[in-house]
Amino acid sequence: MDKIHLLSLSISQLNEMIQLIGEPAYRSKQIWQAVYCQKSSAIQEMTALSSSLRVKLEETCTLSVLQPSAEARSTDKQTVKQLFITPDGNKLETVWMKYNERDTLCISTQSGCAMGCTFCATGQMGFSRNLTAGEIVEQVLFFERKLNIIERKVTNIVFMGMGEPFHNYEEVMKAIQILGDETGYNLGSRRMTISTVGLIPQIKRFSAERSQVNLAISLHAIDDPTRSKMMPVNRKYPIDDLLAACKEYVDNTHRRISFEWALIEGVNDDIATAKKLAIRLKGILCHVNLIQLNPTRYFAVRGSNKTRALEFMHTLQEAGIPVSIRLRRGIDINAGCGQLASSQ
């Protein structure tokens, strides 16, 4: 029988499990704090527990199911990409990015991706399976322990790694609940961001929950023929419907939404497109993140150059749309936006 992955359990589920094995309820709080406050990496490190309970837990539970494999470090030492292997042999990648005052993790929610965006390496590799909440949380704790050694800590999490988070809605939201629990890891909701290609039913569901987790939409085009060619999901959820759902989200939550725009040379980086984008976003509380497309193996078109990116940004600014160009990180190790593909 497979062991229970403790990182997949909410505090209430952990409490139920502890009572089922004949232990008092307070033990669940001790385990929870050992994992998420003391950052224990093994059951035997939970010294607040009796030795007999630790033996019992080791027989039935585990703190780790992901096998760390290849690690890649950028030449500027500001980015690390870690490959993990799941128990059933699937692969996923997680990226740590160091900034002056921030340590941001880019977390995967699936092994592969079913959305098929043409410019994305993960989409090019296809879909293997959803990750469990525990596998998502484990990525965070793996890097948290490493950062603690150098007296740093995870400050931000973006669900922008491999996979479409809203295609794995329940497990992603459960992982967010676990990571945000005030009695444990206690990462604030506003320090987490979910990025979606635009699954409208899940956007509406997320909107109804009035979560404080940030929402980002991968837009990349402002007319349906172009976007459908780049992102097959647009054939089911076209731009008009998507923007209506985004406006509904802002109206319901009063929170700013982000739009991600990968600038692709000769495709979506001209001034006329920038002006059309500004018109469509007018009246929506939003911010546009411009990303010069990162190279991938099976998409030959290049990303826009810096001059083109600045022209696009200035056009949006002149129209009153908040916008910035995202700092590129880890391109030399294929750790940038859209580059994760677990090809090792």
Which residues are known catalytic residues?
93, 337
Place of tokens 């129209």: 319
Distance CA 39, CA 61 (A): 16
Give the E-state strand segments of 169-241 in sequence order.
192-196, 214-218
Distances (CA, A) of 190 to 15, 94, 155: 27, 20, 10
Residue whose C-alpha is closest to residue 243's, from 274, 213, 285, 290: 285
Q: Which residues pair with 288 in a beta bridge?
A: 259, 323
- 74 contacts 335 by C-beta, under 8 angstroms: yes
Structure tokens belonging to residue 234 = 């647009």
For 235, residues 6+ apart whose C-beta sits below 8 A from its C-beta are 228
Count other Cβ atoms within 10 Å, centred on residue 263. 23
